[in-house]
Amino acid sequence: MPIKIQNDLPVKQILEDENIFVMDDRRAIHQDIRPIEICILNLMPLKEDTELQLLRMLSNTPLQVNVSFMMTTTHEAKHTSMSHLNKFYDTFDDVKDSYFDGFIITGAPVEQMPFEEVDYWPEMERILEWTKTHVTSTLHLCWGAQAGLYYHYGIKKDDLPEKLFGVYPHRVQHRRVPLVRGFDDYFMAPHSRWTESDGDQIRANENLMVLAESPEAGVFLVMNNDGSQIFCMGHPEYDRMTLDKEYKRDVATGVPIHKPVNYYPGDDETQKPLLQWRGHANTFYTNWLNYYVYQNTPFIFLGKNS
Distance CA 228, CA 223 (A): 8
Contact 263, 243 (CB under 8 A): yes
> Which residue blocks in the chain are alpha helix, DSSP H?
12-17, 25-28, 47-58, 82-88, 92-95, 121-134, 143-153, 199-204, 242-253, 278-287
Cα gap 306→290, rounded to integer Å: 25
Residues recognised as catalytic: 142, 235, 237
The answer for residues whose C-beta is within 8 angstroms of residue 34's C-beta and 6 or more apart is 299, 301
- CB 12 within 8 Å of CB 18: no
Contact 106, 44 (CB under 8 A): yes
d(CA 130, CA 107): 19
- Dist. CA 129–CA 41, nearest whole Å: 14
Decide if 84 contacts 69 (C-beta within 8 A). Answer: no
Q: Tell me how far apart the alpha carbons of residues 82 and 166 are, in angstroms, rounded to a whole number.
A: 32
